[in-house]
């Protein structure tokens, strides 16, 4: 299987051997026979049949040798980082990471003796300038939240490899349909499967994909940290990924049309979408992404972004992203609220910034809704 769309449907899926059904059965057991078995199977050991089915699908989609599925994106991220880093180690992070990841770094690493530097920007040069003699790992996220900045994965991966550093990319925003960081030489990919992989705003999960050699220490740490996912949600996730390619293709197209509509709207002062030629990351995005994704953000000319969100009828104002429904949020009131006006200004987050996760509805309906809410 070479194509994404076939892998989404078939990779990893067990099939029901007894009655020849086409879907993986849900194995709810937490107790498995151990006599005459090579492996002791247990949910927290991340090796149940449903875990393996989803992991295989995600590994195939990322073109990686191996994957593991966790109970949340943060479980995947924290387990991965703690499996590699130890006391005395240093890591470099790009600017503009997901808020939960930033909080994790700021509140947990120091007391384990792990130091870190946030690079000045998402530019490869600034990221490599932050490397120190005890740096072990570089952590990236592209496109980033909420300004959709693009990091040149190949440039960072090449420089990191020369310096003997492990590279990790949070591929949540792009999804493996639009971006496979392994192609640019990245070592490890992490996902919040709560977003596009799950895709229906009804499950919380995470994943990591990498080589067999790198997954082994992550697996070992993972069974101690205990962030495994239950069989029912594993099945739900497997079911969702079967339509990932179809959903993301539709979402890519919708987002491009909406970004172009907003770019010409007199009440919008700026649009951040890597699929627009005026976006500073457009050239790199075109090189390393096969689609520009469903996330965009835009600045309203009016300051009251809450009033705008209240005027929307079809598009819901709510948190999270990556579902079939189009939603918006205002970073100044959600993810970047704690920074205050000055802090937001420093980060380039305008008070009237709206972040949008484009869904699979008809773009004509979405544009009509945006148009009536923008016109006042």
Ligand X SMILES: *Cc1c(COP(=O)(O)O)cnc(C)c1O
* Binding-site ranges for ligand X (CB under 6 A): 72-74, 98, 100-101, 141, 145, 170, 172-173, 192, 194-195, 204, 206
Least CB distance to ligand X at residue 212 (A): 24
Residue 207 or 231 having the CB closest to ligand X: 207
Residue 142 or 256 having the CB closest to ligand X: 142
The phi, psi pair for 69, rounded to 5°, reads: -110, 140
Least CB distance to ligand X at residue 19 (A): 34
Residue 13 or 101 having the CB closest to ligand X: 101
Nearest Cα neighbor of 181 from 86, 289, 74 is 289
Q: In the complex, which residue's CB is closest to ligand X?
A: 73
What is the bridge-based pairing of β-strands 295-300 and 268-272? antiparallel
Is the bond preceding 121 in cis, omega lying within 30 degrees of 0?
A: no
Least CB distance to ligand X at residue 66 (A): 20
Nearest Cα neighbor of 94 from 164, 133, 149, 136 is 149
Residue 9 or 169 having the CB closest to ligand X: 169
Chain centroid to CA 365: 27
Least CB distance to ligand X at residue 150 (A): 14
Nearest Cα neighbor of 234 from 69, 76, 68 is 69
Nearest Cα neighbor of 194 from 249, 147, 148, 240 is 240
Residue 98 or 235 having the CB closest to ligand X: 98
Task: Classify residue 269 by its DSSP letter.
Answer: E
CB 259 within 8 A of CB 295: no
Least CB distance to ligand X at residue 298 (A): 19
Least CB distance to ligand X at residue 76 (A): 8
Residue 193 or 374 having the CB closest to ligand X: 193
How many other C-beta atoms lie within 10 A of the C-beta of residue 367?
A: 17
């Amino acid at each position: 299987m070479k194509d994404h769309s076939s892998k989404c449907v078939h990779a990893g899926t067990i099939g029901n051997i007894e009655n020849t059904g086409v879907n993986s059965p849900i194995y709810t057991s937490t107790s498995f026979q151990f006599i005459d078995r090579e492996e002791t199977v247990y949910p927290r050991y991340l090796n149940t049949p449903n875990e393996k089915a989803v992991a295989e699908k995600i590994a195939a989609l990322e073109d990686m040798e191996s994957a593991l599925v966790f109970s949340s994106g943060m479980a995947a991220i924290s387990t991965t980082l703690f499996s590699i880093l130890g006391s005395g180690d240093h890591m470099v992070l790009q600017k503009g990471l997901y808020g939960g990841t930033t909080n994790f770094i700021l509140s947990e690493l120091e007391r384990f003796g792990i130091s870190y530097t946030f690079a000045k920007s998402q530019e490869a040069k600034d990221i490599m300038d932050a490397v120190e003699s005890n740096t072990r790992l570089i952590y990236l996220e592209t496109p980033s939240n909420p300004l959709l900045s693009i990091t040149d994965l190949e440039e960072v991966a090449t420089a990191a490899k020369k310096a003997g550093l492990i590279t990790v990319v949070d591929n949540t925003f792009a999804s493996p349909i639009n971006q496979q960081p392994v192609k640019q030489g990245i070592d490890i990919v992490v996902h919040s499967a709560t977003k596009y992989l799950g895709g229906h705003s009804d499950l919380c999960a995470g994943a990591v994909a990498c080589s067999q050699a790198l997954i082994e220490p992550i697996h070992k740490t993972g069974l101690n940290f205990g962030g495994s996912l239950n069989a029912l949600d594993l099945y739900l996730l497997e079911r969702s990924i079967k339509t990932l390619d179809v959903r993301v293709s539709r979402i890519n197209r919708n987002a491009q049309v909406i970004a172009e509509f907003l770019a010409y709207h007199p009440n919008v002062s700026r649009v951040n979408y890597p699929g627009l030629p005026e976006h500073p990351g457009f050239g790199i995005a075109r090189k390393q992404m096969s689609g520009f994704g469903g996330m965009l953000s835009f600045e309203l000319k009016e300051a009251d972004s809450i009033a705008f969100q209240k005027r929307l009828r079809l598009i819901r104002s709510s948190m999270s992203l990556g579902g079939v429904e189009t939603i918006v949020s205002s970073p100044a009131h959600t993810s970047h609220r704690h920074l205050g006006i000055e802090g937001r200004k420093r980060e380039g987050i305008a008070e009237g910034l709206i972040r949008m996760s484009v869904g699979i509805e008809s773009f004509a309906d979405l544009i009509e809704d945006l148009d009536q809410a923008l016109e006042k």
